[in-house]
Amino acid sequence: MDQAGIIRDLLSWLEGHLDQPLSLDNVAAKAGYSKWHLQRMFKEVTGHAIGAYIRARRLSKAAVALRLTSRPILDIALQYRFDSQQTFTRAFKKQFVQTPALYRRAEEWDSNGIRPPIRLEKWDMPQAKFIVLPPMQLVGLTQSYSCTLEQITSFRTELRIQFWRQYLGEAKTIPPVLYGLNHSRPNQEKDDEQEILYTTAIEPHDVPENVQNGQPIALEGGDYAQFIYNGPSDGLQSFILSLYGTCLPTMKMTRRRGHDIERFYPLEKAPDAPVPHIIRCEYLIPVRR
């Protein structure tokens, strides 16, 4: 295997072990090289020092935990291998230009400081189109669930399908445009989980005759970054995570308050049709430009 292939495999392994001991000796043993050779090879392939990269990724993971859970700062610091809250705070402030406590309490989420994972494979970063969405009135149903950060992908994919089937279960035809509104907040009862509120909604003139369980939903207008997803239905959640983990930080965008908006354009019109293999979704994130 060439150097790029070795480092690509190592990057994937590192991403899944950021909360484990990752001394240079440990990482070198995993890679099968001396730590001196590994450091040199990593720098040649990626342009970054391996130790600095690991710390930046750990701090980025910690930043997400600060925003999406209510776990104590010390617990988050220890999870990502900082020996004290003071050490963590100093490192966090150097990367994010504010303390962990201020970062957690900020009304908006500034993506500056998030270090995206290095990708050595060919990957076309989703491109943002900035749009201004007018206020809209929808009809929908809001449901909620809780999960850990590690469960986000599997839970949201499964529950998104379940919620839509519950909402449109009695409909004879599927409306031409479906809106999914996402809002996340720390779970007040379990500090290591986040609560996700998901609203299935449609435009009032598209409400099927047999759907009676909708409530009026006011969708705020404003600036949004719009991304387009065309691909397998089970890949949407990974796409969304890449928007927050790579696209927003790369474009130095700030997420303002509001819902993330999914707009689906279903090809199948029968509610009992199988989940389509390929879907098209416009994903809109409220941003401050």
Domain ranges of the chain: 3-110, 129-288
How confident is the model at residue 274, as a pLDDT?
A: 64
Q: What percent of the chain clears pLDDT 90, i.e. is strictly above it?
A: 69
Please give the pLDDT value at position 2.
86
Express each pLDDT in 111-154 by its tens digit.
Answer: 999 999 999 988 899 999 999 999 999 999 999 989 888 887 76
Given a cut of 80, whether residue 40 has pLDDT beyond it is yes
- Interval 212-219 mean pLDDT: 86
Q: Which helix (H) or strand (E) holds 193?
A: strand 193-202
Q: Are 221 and 211 in contact (CB under 8 A)?
A: no
What pLDDT was estimated at residue 272?
63
Nearest to 101 by CA among 82, 85, 112: 85
* Residues in Cβ contact with 258 at an 8 Å cutoff, skipping those fewer than 6 apart: 220, 222, 286
CATH number corresponding to 3-110: 1.10.10.60
User: DSSP class of residue 204?
Assistant: G
As beta bridge partners, residue 226 has 129, 284
CA distances to 65, 203, 242, 244, 262 from 279, rounded to whole Å, are 30, 20, 17, 20, 12
The first and second tokens of residue 87, run together, are 């050490």
Within 10 Å of residue 139's Cβ, how many Cβ atoms? 20
pLDDT in tens, 75-102: 999 999 999 999 999 999 999 999 999 9
Please give the CATH superfamily to which domain 129-288 belongs.
Regulatory factor, effector binding domain (3.20.80.10)
**Per-residue confidence (pLDDT) for residue 79, from 0 to 100:** 96
pLDDT tens by residue, 154-195: 667 788 888 988 888 778 888 999 999 999 889 888 999 999
Average pLDDT over every residue of 3-10? 92
